[in-house]
Amino acid sequence: MRSPPRCWTPTAGSTTSSATPASSPCCPSSCTASTNDSWTTPPARINSPISSCSWWESSGGVPEFAKFKEILASTAEDFGQNLPYRLDIDFSAYDPSNFFRSLRVHPTLADEVRNFDELGTGQSQVLALAFAYAYAMAYGQSDGTILVIDEPEANLHPLAQRWLATRLGALTAPGLQVVITTHSPHFVDLARPENLVMVSKDADGATRVVQRSRDDLSAHLVEHGADADRTQPDTIGGFYAASATTEIVSGLFSRRCVLVEGITEALALPELLHARGLDVLREGIAIVSVEGIGNIAKWHRLYTALGIECYCVFDTDSDKKGNNAANLAGKRRDIMSALGLAKDLGESDNLSTAPIAVTSSHATLDPNFEGAAERLFGDRWATLHAEAVSVVGESKPLRARYAAQRLAAEDYSAEVTGALDTLIEAIRGNSTAPDNQDGGQHEPPATGNPAYSNRSYGSLRG
């Protein structure tokens, strides 16, 4: 940043190096010194108020300052969404040798100067971000400025986070690099996966950092079963961003992620697991709906590429017939490929017919979550599921959660607890169950739920 022009000329006839204010291109004639008619030495700084104008009308006459004020005003308004406060600058104490420390920034409301103490923490933070960006844009581009923003989501409600994320995502300028650290999914941009840097702590306390270039990420996806012709470095970002949801991106912050087909499992399964001692939130486990069985494989590939441990739960869809069944089988084959298993394990004939069948990498529900729950809990589930209509309406996911929340301890038979306990160990990564399932029918155990097969029960118990 260049120093502002100094407004002084030697006094006529003077034998000393004195100077007086003068009308010049750098200082209008209406501006006069407020304390001295002359200076004995050329002023190195201007640190006193100016009577007729606030340092040349708040330095609007100096190109750099005019640009800075313009950027600051527009950025504060843009970042602030519907925030009533704006930022203004007081240049009266301007010191060209120490610009940043002498600059006075204050919030205004309806053209009245306010104190920062009147603002909420989130409001202050948004205005601070606006100031930092405006300063970088006005003065820092030629120097290759790096603007580091630490947890911009702090103290902002979710909608404000989303808005700010869109604005920060648009911060591009020659020479300006923006680095954001965050714990919010709203600030994760999957369209540019090469920019994601995943930082976490291992069990032994060591810091782990994962970042992949587009070429490296593309190679990983193909290696784990993605179509090589369609998985190109220049298209994978848009591919994942197009189908991402806030819930899916939130899984990137989990210690371990369980990928499920839909919202029914995402809402009701945690309730069943909690009844058997697994609090998924406490253990940092995210149960994520990927919006359909066809999306499980692709998200498993991306999560694992970024270092997130994953477990998959999906339906056998044994009640489906014809072309629909064939299409679903193809999607299960893709899941097996992503898991590094033989694709044929996804065929209906190779899947267990038990309500819940668990392996170390995945579990199946037969034929689906609702059907498995009815087989495991019998009439009690049907009663609660029907009762839920009068409370939560016709929504299947909400009805499933309602029923799961109201099951009593006596509703969990030995077979049910065995299945859920084995699933919990697999989700935690402690399962030793094999990755293949036996799809045949077996004699039921001597006691308990006759819908639960001997073979699957044995494999569930590991």
Q: What is the pLDDT of residues 178-207, one digit of tens each?
A: 889 999 999 999 999 999 999 998 888 899
- Each residue of 238-277: pLDDT tens digit? 999 999 999 999 999 999 999 999 999 999 999 999 999 9
Q: Are 272 and 264 in contact (CB under 8 A)?
A: no
- Strand 285-289 relative to strand 309-315: parallel, antiparallel, unpaired? unpaired
Q: Domain map of the chain by residue range?
A: 1-53, 60-181, 245-461
Task: Give residue 96's pLDDT.
Answer: 53
Residue 213 pLDDT:
97
pLDDT category at 448 given cuts 50, 70, 90 is very low
Rounded CA-CA distance 423/353 in Å is 16
Average pLDDT over residues 393-397: 97
Could you tell me which of 411, 319, 407 has the C-alpha nearest to residue 369? 319
Q: Considering only residues 88 and 75, tell me which one the structure prediction assigns the higher pLDDT.
A: 75
* pLDDT 10s digits, 29-67: 334 333 333 333 333 333 333 333 444 444 444 555 677
CATH 3.40.50.300 fits 60-181, yes or no: yes
The more confident residue out of 85 and 291 is: 291
**Do the beta carbons of residue 396 and residue 266 sit within 8 Å?**
no
Q: Could you give the percent of the chain with pLDDT greater than 90?
A: 53
Please report, for residues 69, 86, 88, 320, the alpha-carbon distance to residue 75 in angstroms, rounded to integers and kept in the order given.
10, 10, 12, 55
CA atoms of 395 and 401, how far apart (whole Å)? 10
Instruction: Using a pLDDT cut of 70, give the percent of the chain over it.
Output: 69
Q: What is the pTM of this model?
A: 0.75
Give yes or no for a cis peptide into 28 (omega within 30° of 0). Answer: no
pLDDT tens per residue across span 430-444:
987 777 765 433 333
What pLDDT does residue 101 have?
A: 55
Q: For residue 377, give the nearest of 246, 264, 275, 240 by alpha carbon.
A: 275
Residue 50 to residue 31: CA distance in whole angstroms: 7
Q: Which residues contact 110 (CB under 8 A, 6 or more apart)?
A: 84
The pLDDT of residue 459: 28
As a whole number, mean pLDDT of residues 347-359 equals 96
> Torsion-angle region of residue 110: left (phi > 0), alpha (psi -120 to 50) or beta?
left
Question: Pick from 3, 10, 57: which is nearest to 30 by CA?
Answer: 57
pLDDT at 99: 53
**For position 388, what pLDDT does the model report?**
98
More confident residue, 18 or 453: 18
User: To which residue do tokens 């036996």 refer?
Assistant: 438
